[in-house]
């Protein structure tokens, strides 16, 4: 371990690496410390030993924001040689006894396939697609400044359009603008990504933004798995003089080399523990009191063929939301929020071999799944997820060759940020998108000179978009190093 460095980053997830890259590109010496033996946090691809040559994305798998977030737009993964594949069908919602609802990359095809529900889907999303960047910046901003794209009259108008749609899906009147079962379920499946109450502001904001992106850039996935995103970030960091240390758990800041800035890609509780005894009392209390959200429980399957969906079109989608109708998903999420395990939980499913044939080895393929469960739930989710998929894909059970299950109560063993299975690193409500993890004008500062939080526990909230790390790094550059100019992320620089 070195004896001194300009900046230290704890945690090598997408936000930690985004912060490290920004700092290194500003000419600073940077070191990253990761507790796990592999680098990447929530964007790792590993061989779990379930079948020879089969690898699994152990957290994130599909990445709508890897090409849409302002950080990754500038970093430009494709220009760096990373292969991304974008399915024609961004996401699908299987329904009982009828054709699935499908969200195509192309809005017109989505509208055509939705039939009677098509016109209302167009009315909802077409206005937002006129200036997609406005919706993205509104969702992925630091919640403290107004991006330039939103300062003109069309930008302000788009904020109003976005806000009205968000409000419509956050209230008990949410069935008015989307009045058909297929459009309701299609939207709600995306809202459930936030693992919260339905309807609610936080879940509605998530769905409005991600669904808009689905009809713009689509929902792509990296060829070979999520690890490719991290590998390119690490390569850029090392090219600018930085380094990453795996197998380096940090219990306290005294375990780290001396630095002028410390950026923590950790949970709020983890930050309080690392700076224990050094934080202002109120900051320490707020960090330790930041409420955890509902949880996810993960199952990685190995199959001997594709999932036999009753509606074959579902098998073309990059992401499948399994939960049935809007009412069924809302009821399941309400049970989770109330601490009860639903019999039919909301599940997310992705078969990477559908769009990346290289993931199949000797006729076997991985299947990525998780379901929503109460916080810190110890229940093995395998049978719950299997039943839900079998509900819409009879014969699925017979395809299973092997599986690996991680209950919510064990999720933190492979990622310390996922306390109790909370993969969002703190509750995702509309208020907690703004005051994240505490009520403060500067949510990235830990109240100690040079100490910053850069994880999903800060604005704008969870997702593989790098913006939390980017915003935190920019504050560190300005306040600790007197660097006002934002460093370029261009592959050519």
pLDDT tens for the chain, 493 residues long, are 456 899 999 999 999 999 999 999 999 999 999 999 999 999 999 999 999 999 999 999 999 999 999 999 999 999 999 999 999 999 999 999 999 999 999 999 999 999 999 999 999 999 999 999 998 999 999 998 888 778 888 888 988 999 999 999 999 999 999 999 999 999 999 999 999 999 999 999 999 999 999 999 999 999 999 999 999 999 999 999 999 999 999 999 999 999 999 999 999 999 999 999 999 999 999 999 999 999 999 999 999 999 999 999 999 999 999 999 999 999 999 999 999 999 999 999 999 999 999 999 999 999 999 999 999 999 999 999 999 999 999 999 999 999 999 999 999 999 999 999 999 999 999 899 899 999 999 999 999 999 999 999 999 989 999 999 999 999 999 999 999 999 999 998 8
Q: How many CB atoms lie within 10 A of CB 417?
A: 27
Rounded to whole angstroms, how far apart are CA atoms 285 and 250?
21
* Tokens representing residue 237 in the block: 């960091």
Q: What is the pLDDT of residue 158?
A: 87
Q: List the beta strands (DSSP E) in 346-463.
A: 347-350, 365-373, 400-406, 451-453
Q: What is the pLDDT of residue 148?
A: 78
Rounded to whole angstroms, how far apart are CA atoms 128 and 124?
8
* Tokens representing residue 142 in the block: 């630091």
Class of CATH domain 7-41+225-292+426-481: alpha beta
Q: What is the pLDDT of residue 1?
A: 44
Q: Which of 389, 384, 379 is nearest to 339 (CA)?
A: 379
Rounded to whole angstroms, how far apart are CA atoms 457 and 491?
28
Is residue 268 within 8 Å of residue 288, measured between CB atoms?
A: yes
- 338 secondary structure, DSSP code: T
Placement of tokens 């699908």 in the chain = 92
Q: List the beta strands (DSSP E) in 11-160.
A: 30-33, 45-46, 56-57, 84-85, 89-95, 98-104
Q: How many CB atoms lie within 10 A of CB 174?
A: 21
Alpha helix segments (H runs only) across 240-381: 268-274, 281-289, 326-337
Residues of the chain with CATH 3.90.660: 70-220+294-414
Q: What is the pLDDT of residue 282?
A: 97
Residues of the chain with CATH 3.50.50.60: 7-41+225-292+426-481
What values do phi and psi take at 488, rounded to 5? -70, 145
Tell whether omega for the bond before 460 is within 30 degrees of 0, i.e. cis: yes
Domain 70-220+294-414 has CATH 3.30.750: no
What values do phi and psi take at 112, rounded to 5? -60, -45
Alpha helix segments (H runs only) across 215-302: 227-239, 268-274, 281-289
The angle subtended at Cα 57 by Cα 355 and Cα 222, nearest 5°, is 40
The angle subtended at Cα 334 by Cα 333 and Cα 335, nearest 5°, is 90
Rounded to whole angstroms, how far apart are CA atoms 349 and 35?
28
Rounded to whole angstroms, how far apart are CA atoms 217 and 51?
34
Counting every residue written for the chain, the total comes to 493
Torsion of CA 161, 167, 172, 173, to 10 degrees: -20
Exposed / middle / buried, residue 247 (Cβ in 10 Å: 0-12, 13-18, 19+): exposed
* Tokens representing residue 287 in the block: 């960090």
Is residue 219 within 8 Å of residue 354, measured between CB atoms?
A: no
Q: What is the pLDDT of residue 433?
A: 87
Tell whether omega for the bond before 276 is within 30 degrees of 0, i.e. cis: no
**Which whole-number Å values give the CA distances from 381 to 203, 300, 367, 372, in the listed order?**
23, 11, 15, 9
Q: Could you tell me which residues are beta bridge partners of residue 371?
A: 297, 347
The pTM score is 0.96
């Amino acid at each position: 371990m070195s004896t001194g460095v300009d900046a230290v980053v704890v945690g090598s997830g997408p936000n930690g690496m985004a912060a490290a890259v920004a700092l290194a590109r500003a000419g600073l010496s940077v070191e990253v410390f990761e507790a796990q033996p592999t680098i990447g946090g929530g964007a790792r691809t590993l061989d779990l030993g379930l079948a020879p040559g089969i690898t699994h994305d152990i957290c994130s798998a599909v990445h709508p924001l890897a090409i849409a977030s302002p950080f990754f737009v500038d970093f430009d993964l494709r220009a760096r040689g990373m292969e991304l594949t974008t399915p024609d069908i961004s996401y699908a919602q299987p329904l009982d006894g009828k054709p699935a609802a499908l969200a195509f990359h192309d809005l017109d095809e989505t509208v055509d396939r939705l039939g009677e529900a098509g016109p209302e889907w167009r009315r909802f999303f077409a206005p937002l697609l006129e200036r997609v960047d406005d919706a993205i910046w509104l969702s992925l901003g630091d919640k403290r400044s107004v991006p330039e794209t939103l300062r003109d009259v069309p930008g302000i108008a788009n904020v109003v359009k976005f806000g009205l749609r968000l409000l419509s899906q956050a209230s008990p009147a949410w069935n008015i603008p989307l009045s058909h079962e297929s459009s309701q379920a299609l939207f709600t499946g995306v809202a459930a990504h936030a693992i919260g109450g339905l309807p609610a502001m936080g879940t509605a904001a998530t769905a409005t933004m991600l669904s808009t992106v689905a009809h713009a850039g689509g929902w792509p996935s990296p060829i070979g798995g999520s690890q490719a995103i991290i590998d390119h970030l690490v390569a850029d960091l090392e090219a600018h003089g930085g380094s990453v240390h795996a197998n380096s758990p940090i219990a306290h800041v005294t375990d780290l080399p001396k630095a002028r800035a410390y950026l923590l890609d950790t949970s709020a509780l983890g930050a309080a523990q690392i700076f224990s005894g050094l934080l202002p009392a109120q900051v320490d209390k707020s960090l330790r009191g930041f409420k955890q959200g509902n949880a996810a429980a993960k199952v990685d399957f190995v199959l001997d063929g594709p999932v036999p969906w009753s509606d074959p079109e579902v098998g073309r989608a990059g992401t499948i939301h399994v939960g049935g109708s809007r009412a069924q998903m809302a009821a399941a999420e309400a049970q989770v929020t109330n601490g009860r395990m639903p019999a039919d939980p909301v599940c997310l499913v992705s078969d990477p071999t559908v769009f990346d044939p290289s993931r199949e080895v000797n006729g076997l393929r991985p299947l990525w799944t998780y379901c929503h469960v109460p916080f810190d739930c110890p229940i093995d989710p395998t049978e719950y997820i299997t039943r839900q998929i079998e509900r819409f894909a009879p014969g699925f059970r017979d395809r299973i060759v092997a599986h690996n299950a991680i209950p919510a109560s064990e999720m933190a063993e492979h990622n310390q940020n996922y306390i109790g299975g909370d993969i969002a690193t703190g509750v995702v409500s509309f208020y907690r998108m703004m005051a994240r993890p505490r009520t403060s004008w500067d949510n990235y500062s830990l109240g100690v000179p040079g100490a910053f939080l850069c994880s999903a526990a800060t604005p704008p909230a969870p997702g593989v978009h790098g913006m939390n790390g980017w915003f935190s790094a920019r504050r560190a550059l300005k306040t600790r190093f007197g660097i006002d100019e934002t460093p370029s992320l261009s592959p050519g620089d």
